[in-house]
A and B are shown apart, each in its own frame.
Chain A
Amino acid sequence: MRVLMFGWEFPPHITGGLGTACFGMTKGLAKNGVEVLFVVPKAHGDEDQTNVRLLNASDVTVDIDHETERSYWDRVQYMEIGSNIIPYVGPEQYATMFEEQRHATRGFHSSVFAPRYEFSGKYGANLMEEVARYALIGSSLATKYDFDVIHAHDWLTYSAGIAAKETTGKPLVVHMHATEFDRSGENINTDVYAIERRGMEAADLVITVSDWTRNIVIEKYGINPDKVITVHNAVEPSDKSLDEYERSGLKNKVVTFLGRITFQKGPEYFVEAAYKILQVDPSIHFVMAGTGDLLQKMIKRVAQLKIGANFHFTGFLKGNDVDQMFAMTDVFVMPSISEPFGIVPLEAMRLKVPVVISKQSGVSEVVEHALKVDFWDINGLADAIYGICKYKAVNEIFRKEGKEEVDNLKWEYAAKKIKNVYELAINLR
């Protein structure tokens, strides 16, 4: 079987969960004997080249260290389409970022708190135009290759998926990693909502990353429940152990939040819970790792609560720094308000870090060995964190059992389910 996949960023240039998921999934599919034509948008430096750059997956800077995995990669063909579209960014924010870069002068101060995206002046300054342009190239690309099914990830590539389906007549599967409601709360961008809905309606089958997301898709987008299938995300087992990293230099417990500092991730609840805990135990330290539009607000709040000596910000972390952060962490917290899946707690658990997660997350559907609280319940959140910090027994169980649990959530298994979805989509014809 061969799939044309409109996916996202590959390592090492990963800025969030979507890239990690696409990467793991592709690897898992290859292991299940599925061939993948992997197409990603990317702004190149060399503008005079053709629109599409074909690369061998082995040329892509991924960490293909195992000889056994190398053979799977032969089943993956990797293509880059010159484009400015980037994940996690809505139309308004896109316009701001584009303008910022265009006007970036010597005085513009870039700090460690901002991950860099490359924009190219060759492509559109308007996200919606850019999405349409991407779809056009995607569909012409589709006519040149042979495949059995089309798989598109998140709304920015849905138009490309639909166009490819229209030109080739092949079945389309769209994958909902996040909905507009997760990103924006109730104040949704209706253009984005419309593209998401059109994508799901045009698709033969829809994959959601959790039942939490499946419910949103059915209730808020009115998609026929029969064509929506949940396939939970997985995580690659880590061959790294905590011993490879420096331990925390602090003599006290460290509690960590790691993720984009945006409304969706509930950073405010973490700060307020930290304040409550510090009233009882002023020795505990809190870390907020990541960046986002609420960063300044969080810093101000921390200063206002006068807890700056116990509450630290690291800025954006990537690659090894993320695992380094986990190695220094005693409790990992994800208080998301609405989290379609949320892969970071799994990454923490595989390094034996106990986690506290919100019930409003997809990941809470698949893990047993985690404390689950409602995101808005600051007292409950504080209780859970304090409990893991203070009571050894819970801590030990979570460390051990949690790791075992996560090691069984392999992409290989999740990819098997995705392959079944492909087969179903083909058979529906």
Chain B
Amino acid sequence: MRYLCFYFQVHQPYRLRTYRFFDIGKRHFYYDDYNNRITMQRVAERCYLPMNNLMLKKIEELGNKIKFAISFSGTAIEQMEVYAPYALESFKKLVATGNVEVLAETYSHSVSSLMNKDAFKMEVAEHKRLMKEIFNVRPKTFHNTELIYSNEIGADVAEMGFDLMLTEGAKHVLGWKSPNYLYVNAINPKMKVMLRNWKMSDEITLKFAHETFKVEDFVNWLNSIPKEEEIVNIFFDYETFGEGLDASTGIFDFMKYLPDAVMKYTDFKLVTPHQIVEKLQPTGVFDAPIPLSCRDEERDLSNWMGNDMQDDALATLYGCFKKVKASKDEELMRDWRALQAAENFAAMCTKHQGGTPYDYYINYMNILTDFINRMK
């Protein structure tokens, strides 16, 4: 018996409004409400509702044979509560079946794990509280923003009481090793590490857009994996269904027929990440002294940090963590969380074509100046 594990990310950041110098000190509202609302409602209609309904139906049909995991960011839940409460209800129903493992992550989809250990801990604690409140669950598996991972981060997460962490099966770290095994953290061997099979995950998300990727292709691929390799982890954004990939590509049908085909034609069983820890023994150490992520060809951090604008913005933001924490002001805390979203720093990245990184930096720094000003 071998294991196939699907996990999905549900995340929406708060998009920021145009915030001018003239607003500093006068207007403390930072968000593009309209954009946030229509985006959430569109994604709810196109992805969350149809995909949840599909999965609920599959669970009804197949019972315990179908399992998977979802990671919800806190900012996605918050916006769902306000703009699309029906979508949140649907997710609650899905989680209540018991077939879905809810993963732990940072509340704001932040890169706090790289910046400040206390801020990171706070992010995780707040997320944990929210998952308890919304879904009445205590997540046991940790998945960091964009699968960012290093030996040190893994050890930090172990300290927070988790025994399994998910990350990218990055080629430059794995070398000749296969991602299809259970590993342990290099500092704390009690922390297990499960690796995303990026090749197959990307295959689904990228290939589907251009050509028809059939259920048979997936099944054939599973059967071609050497028999001794034990687990396959597929991970991508939940929004891929219906939003990233339009329903007309057939992505919903793919997910509809996939579980049955896997059960019928392969020796793989669908499980949640934490079930693996209970079933399998780790085979070796995953040694990542330098942080990695699931982004870009390089699988490094350059999407969020490294250029002067990103570094200035990050240093300024995390430089005021102590003051924010000491303020115990709920409004400040809310803004603090929203401003931490990794997307803010990705938008300042100058590696890619398009976008307006300079404008974004200016706008973000104006907001940050106002934010800091409020704590004086």
Q: A162 to B20, alpha carbons, bound, how many Å?
A: 46
B272 to chain A, nearest CB (A): 42
Q: For A111, what are the chain B residues with a Cβ–Cβ distance below 8 Å?
A: 356, 359
B76 to chain A, nearest CB (A): 27
B359 touches A250 (CB 8 A): no
B369 touches A309 (CB 8 A): yes
Contact of B362 among A248, A304, A313, A325 (CB under 8 A): A313
Instruction: Please tell me if A122 contacts chain B, counting CB pairs below 8 Å.
Output: no
Given the known interface contacts A303-B361, A309-B365, A309-B372, the answer about A287 and B309 at a Cβ–Cβ threshold of 8 Å is no
B24 touches A249 (CB 8 A): yes
Instruction: Please tell me if B311 contacts chain A, counting CB pairs below 8 Å.
Output: yes
Contact with B along A290-305 (1 / 0, CB 8 A): 0000011001101110
A388 to chain B, nearest CB (A): 20
Q: A312 to B372, alpha carbons, bound, how many Å?
A: 14
Q: For B356, what are the chain A residues with a Cβ–Cβ distance below 8 Å?
A: 109, 111
Interface residues on A, range: 20 to 34
Instruction: Please tell me if A308 contacts chain B, counting CB pairs below 8 Å.
Output: yes
Contact of B23 among A112, A249, A295, A309 (CB under 8 A): A249
B22 touches A251 (CB 8 A): no
Instruction: Please tell me if B313 contacts chain A, counting CB pairs below 8 Å.
Output: yes
Given the known interface contacts A249-B23, A314-B21, the answer about A308 and B316 at a Cβ–Cβ threshold of 8 Å is yes
Q: For B311, what are the chain A residues with a Cβ–Cβ distance below 8 Å?
A: 303, 306
Instruction: Please tell me if B257 contacts chain A, counting CB pairs below 8 Å.
Output: no
A312 touches B365 (CB 8 A): yes
Q: A109 to B360, alpha carbons, bound, how many Å?
A: 13
Contact with A along B285-321 (1 / 0, CB 8 A): 0000000000000000000000111011101100000
B366 touches A312 (CB 8 A): yes
A324 touches B22 (CB 8 A): yes
B308 touches A304 (CB 8 A): yes
Q: For B354, what are the chain A residues with a Cβ–Cβ distance below 8 Å?
A: 107, 109
Q: A251 to B369, alpha carbons, bound, how many Å?
A: 11
Contact with B along A302-338 (1 / 0, CB 8 A): 1110111111111000000100110010000000000
Q: For A243, what are the chain B residues with a Cβ–Cβ distance below 8 Å?
A: none
Q: For B365, what are the chain A residues with a Cβ–Cβ distance below 8 Å?
A: 308-309, 311-312
Instruction: Please tell me if A165 contacts chain B, counting CB pairs below 8 Å.
Output: no
Q: A311 to B24, alpha carbons, bound, how many Å?
A: 12
Instruction: Please tell me if A376 contacts chain B, counting CB pairs below 8 Å.
Output: no
A-B contact pairs, 6 of them (CB 8 A): A112-B18, A113-B359, A248-B25, A296-B358, A303-B311, A309-B369
Closest 8 CB pairs of A and B: A249-B25, A303-B308, A249-B26, A303-B309, A304-B308, A308-B365, A308-B312, A303-B312
* Chain B interface (Cβ < 8 Å from any Cβ of A): 18, 20-26, 307-309, 311-313, 315-316, 354, 356, 358-359, 361-362, 365-366, 368-370, 372-373, 376
Given contacts A303-B308, A308-B309, 9 further A-B contacts (CB under 8 A): A109-B356, A246-B26, A249-B26, A251-B25, A287-B21, A299-B309, A299-B362, A309-B368, A314-B21
